[in-house]
Amino acid sequence: MTDKQWETLKNIINGDILSPLPVGFIIDSPWLPNWAGMRILDYFSNDTMWLDANLKVIEKFPDVLFLPGFWSEFGMCTEPSAFGARCTFPPDAFPHAHKVIQSVDDIDGLPEPNPITDGLLPFMINRLKHAQPKIEDAGHRIRFAVARGPLNIASYLMGSTEFLTAMMLQPDMAQTLIKKITTFLKQWLNVQIETFPSIDGILLLDDIIGFIGENEFLTFCLPYFKELYDVDVSIKFLHNDAPCNVSAPYLPEMGVNLFNMGFDVSMSELKEITQNRVVMLGNIPPRDVLANGSSEDVKKATTNLLNSMNAHSRIVMSCGGGMPPYVTTENINAFIQAVTHHAQD
């Protein structure tokens, strides 16, 4: 993000109302490589192609807030790889991290990774170091430390069903796993922040928090997310496009001030739940409208969303979740045009 875009985002966090409303999207490997005309494996394995794809999108849409911006990642394999997960990388499909915990008995022996040296993490940092001069030549800076959240990582290390079952039947072992992952994440986020002084934000992505009840959320999520977001940065960003009725009321307590949700709950309802203390990034349907709909479908859905909101403070217009595969340039432009035209009416 440029300095101007970063200041805009901070102003929105502070409650400033802009007209037209800003447009922003989370973009990463499910969408960007194919949009840029390359295979997903090439995007991951060729640093020049990765940089070219990221430069291409900011040049094509210079006024869009792309979050986190120049995301150095290897899909869902990123953090699990540091714990020793075997990673599968198809040529042009999403990678997969295989579980390393076969039973709860394996949790105590799970290694404590060094984020400086272990798994794919040093490759992520080194990619950004090499790209940093060209990123800054383009007028942008590295703004976010990024990681999947503790429950998300646990679900890959153990398997989603197995992990959720352990939370119910063996909660002490589930706590042990989450504590280990949280300790690692604090170190991993700190490595990113120390390596790139321009970082002034944290992005955590965790959909598993959408699949548990309130008691489980209070036990297994809230204290750990509060710990992770207890960092002196301006933007504390959470992505959860699974159901968020349970977690949303606790977003301010977690420390979150920017939230990307799904589309099962309206923006107005979320603003009311959070007492308008959190910036909402959303939330037209990503797959069925933004990816699979026509340009007119996108314009209609975007306009309807704008008309449905009682107040336009602390809003960044987006889709409900990250940018899905196969979204076209035409549909992104239709989204931007709908936001712009609404402001002019």
Maximum separation of any 2 CA atoms in the chain, in Å = 62
Going by their DSSP bridges, the two strands 201-205 and 279-284 should be labelled as: unpaired
Looking at residue 343, what is its pLDDT?
87
pTM: predicted TM-score of the whole model, two decimal places = 0.97
pLDDT in tens, the chain (345 residues): 999 999 999 999 999 999 999 999 999 999 999 999 999 999 999 999 999 999 999 999 999 999 999 999 999 999 999 999 999 999 999 999 999 999 999 999 999 999 999 999 999 999 999 999 999 999 999 999 999 999 999 999 999 999 999 999 999 999 999 999 999 999 999 999 999 999 999 999 999 999 999 999 999 999 999 999 999 999 999 999 999 999 999 999 999 999 999 999 999 999 999 999 999 999 999 999 999 999 999 999 999 999 999 888 999 999 999 999 999 999 999 999 999 999 887
Looking at residue 345, what is its pLDDT?
77
Q: Is the dihedral of CA 210, 314, 186, 88 positive or negative?
A: positive
Task: Cis check for the bond before 285: say yes or no (omega within 30 of 0).
Answer: no
Task: Cis check for the bond before 283: say yes or no (omega within 30 of 0).
Answer: yes
The domains of the chain are located at 3-344
Read off φ and ψ for residue 244, nearest 5 degrees.
-125, 15
Read off φ and ψ for residue 167, nearest 5 degrees.
-60, -35
The token duo for 219 is: 């036990």
Q: How far apart are CA 262 and CA 320, in angstroms?
A: 4
Looking at residue 5, what is its pLDDT?
98
SS (H, E, C) the chain: CCHHHHHHHHHHHCCCCCCCCCEEEECCCCCHHHHCCCCHHHHHHCHHHHHHHHHHHHHHCCCCEEECCCCCCECECHHHHHCCCCEECCCCCCCEECCCCCCHHHCCCCCCCCCCCCCCHHHHHHHHHHHHHHHHHCCCCCCEEEEECHHHHHHHHHCHHHHHHHHHHCHHHHHHHHHHHHHHHHHHHHHHHHHCCCCCEEEEECCHHHHCCHHHHHHHCHHHHHHHHCCCCCEEEEEECCCCCCCHHHHHHHCCCEEEECCCCCHHHHHHHCCCCCEEEEEECHHHHHHCCCHHHHHHHHHHHHHHCCCCCCEEEEECCCCCCCCCHHHHHHHHHHHHHHHHC
Q: How far apart are CA 64 and CA 23, in angstroms?
A: 5
Q: Give the position of tokens 């840029």.
A: 36
Identify any residues that bridge with 147 across adjacent strands, giving them in sequence order.
Answer: 204
Q: Is 3.20.20.210 the CATH number for 3-344? A: yes
Q: How far apart are CA 159 and CA 153, in angstroms?
A: 10
